Chain A
Amino acid sequence: MTLLEVRALDAFYGDFQALFGLTLDVRVGETVALVGANGAGKTTFLKCLVGLIGTKRGEIRFSGDEIGRKPAEHIAQLGLSLVPEGRLLFPSLTVEENLLMGALNRRPGSWTLETVYDLFPILRERRRLSPNALSGGQQHMVAIGRALMANPKLLLCDEISLGLAPLVIEQIYRSFARVRADGASIVLVEQDVKRATAAADRVYCLLKGRVTLEGGARELGLDELSRAYFGT
């Protein structure tokens, strides 16, 4: 069952074309890694999915519905959640209030304030603090928790391992087991190819706005990936 179907997606920032004919699938319950260098178009792609890119062509189908023309606030209600690059927490809100914002359009599911705190116990201690008082890893936990609070069908994670200590990244990636157990699909956008492919079922590689490689995570060789990543 295909949850997300993207066909021939072109995306533009003004006159600048960032994505060229992107075609991609995500099945129900699957974890897909999207890897590529800086500027390859990974974040642009995620922004297209959630409705933050205005100028685009092509098809984006989520659970069968065409969502390419919908505004971000409608798409939020359909079951797509984004953990944005740079976390982008609300600084005027406490940790708990940030999590509650994620639950604004919650679908029925197992993720509540309590279960998020069970997943990341340190957040329960720091629930009344401003996000600025937290470490980078803890802020990532809040960002992920906020996305989970909506009980998404598809969780989109943009560079969540960037700038974090390996132990913290471990903890965060381990939390995905819970997400998968709930039947949700995950798209992991990472520059760290090893970690992303280890956690994923399938991998897409992006270079300069185009898909250069696609395959099962265990099947792709390092050489192949390298070529697709750097374009050599």
Chain B
Amino acid sequence: MIWIETIVNGILVGGLYGLLGVGLALIVGVMRVVNVSHGEFMVLSAFMGVSLAGTMPWLHPAALLVPILVIFFGLGYALQAVLINRIITRPDPFAAILLTFGLAVVMRNLMLEGFGADPRTLTAGTLAQASVPILGLAIGVLPLLVLGVSVVLFVALQLVLTRTRLGRIVRATADNRDVARLMGVNPAHVYNIVMGLSLALASVAGLLLAIRSSFTAYTGVERLLIAFEVVVLGGLGSFWGAMLGGILLGVVQLVGLKFDPNAGPLYAHLLFFVGVLLRPNGLFGARA
């Protein structure tokens, strides 16, 4: 019984991992850019959440989601417009990696300066302890809500990409930037919006993850690692793959911890290792 509960909890946290990865998958798919500071933005969002919750204790933490999402969309737009668009036309793929790596280092240290070195968590109050009995299992209300948010955002992203004019433009620009320009598309503007979406998704993931586990200014690296593994495991360019990859990682992580409480994230990383060995292009990538 306890195993089923663990697996279910793994799925719930896996949905969150998927959300972490989807933001990264988006920019890798559209711009072929790896944002090494993706994790730092997640941590920044958590710090912002803690600060906002501190100054407005009467506000339910859930109410923070939408304003943070909007703020980070703006940050992503600005990041792309001011920094990344300058180097994106270069053929060298390392330019973006180096730039965002530098940005990550700067952000880490600024956050350390600004928020201090103590580990923090975002408290969800009584919601954190509540659980509902489903099919004889005690499933936490909070993890369910978190999965719910992840799924909603994920589906919303898919809908935007497949059903809207903007989504069409984004997919076309990802396919062939020059031909998209021939249709009147300004690629820089498209990239700004996509980066905004990416960081908006990261910010929500960061906020929700901060409820589950504590964080410091240095936690970004861990977060990036999960996002990266989710994207690669799922298959570059596949969003459903990222979600599935996240769920697999989540399940293996929690089951592994039940066996071996001191393992930390070892089993999730082992799964990634084995997964990439067996399917180098990921679950939904092309067969190698």
A: residues with CB less than 8 A from B are 50-52, 71-73, 76-77, 81-82, 84, 88, 90-93, 97, 100-102, 104-105, 146, 150
Give the residues from 152 to 196 in chain B that come closer than 8 angstroms, CB to CB, to chain A. Answer: 165, 168-169, 171-172, 174-176, 178-187
- B169–A104 contact, CB under 8 A? yes
User: Would you call the interface of chain B mostly helix, strand, loop, or mixed?
Assistant: helix
A104 CA / B175 CA spacing, docked (Å): 16
B179 partner residues in chain A, CB cutoff 8 A: 84, 88, 90
A82 CA / B175 CA spacing, docked (Å): 17
A91 CA / B178 CA spacing, docked (Å): 14
* Known A97-B168, A101-B168; contact A71-B175, beta-carbon cutoff 8 A: no
- B181–A73 contact, CB under 8 A? yes
- B184–A77 contact, CB under 8 A? yes
Count of A-B contacts with CB under 8 A? Answer: 59
B: residues with CB less than 8 A from A are 165, 168-169, 171-172, 174-176, 178-187
Q: Which of B174, B183, B186, B187 contacts A101 (CB 8 A)?
A: B183
- A105–B183 contact, CB under 8 A? yes
Closest 10 CB pairs of A and B: A105-B184, A76-B184, A72-B181, A90-B175, A92-B171, A90-B172, A73-B181, A88-B179, A104-B183, A73-B186
* Known A84-B179, A90-B176, A90-B179; contact A100-B168, beta-carbon cutoff 8 A: yes
- A73–B171 contact, CB under 8 A? no
A92 partner residues in chain B, CB cutoff 8 A: 171-172, 174-175
* Known A73-B181, A88-B179, A101-B180; contact A93-B168, beta-carbon cutoff 8 A: yes
B186 partner residues in chain A, CB cutoff 8 A: 73
A150 partner residues in chain B, CB cutoff 8 A: 183
B169 partner residues in chain A, CB cutoff 8 A: 101, 104
CB distance from B28 to the nearest CB of A (A): 15
* Known A88-B176, A91-B175, A100-B168; contact A52-B184, beta-carbon cutoff 8 A: no
B183 partner residues in chain A, CB cutoff 8 A: 76, 101-102, 104-105, 146, 150
- B172–A93 contact, CB under 8 A? yes
Pairs A–B under 8 Å by Cβ, sample size 26: A51-B181, A52-B178, A52-B181, A72-B178, A72-B182, A73-B181, A73-B184, A73-B187, A76-B181, A76-B183, A77-B184, A84-B179, A84-B182, A90-B171, A92-B172, A92-B175, A93-B168, A93-B172, A97-B168, A101-B172, A101-B180, A101-B183, A102-B183, A104-B184, A104-B185, A150-B183
A92 CA / B172 CA spacing, docked (Å): 7
A71 partner residues in chain B, CB cutoff 8 A: 181
B178 partner residues in chain A, CB cutoff 8 A: 52, 72
- A73–B174 contact, CB under 8 A? no
* Known A88-B176, A90-B175, A92-B175; contact A82-B168, beta-carbon cutoff 8 A: no
CB distance from B177 to the nearest CB of A (A): 10
B176 partner residues in chain A, CB cutoff 8 A: 88, 90
A51 partner residues in chain B, CB cutoff 8 A: 181
Closest to B170 in A: A92
A169 CA / B174 CA spacing, docked (Å): 31
A101 CA / B174 CA spacing, docked (Å): 13
CB distance from B172 to the nearest CB of A (A): 5
A92 CA / B178 CA spacing, docked (Å): 15
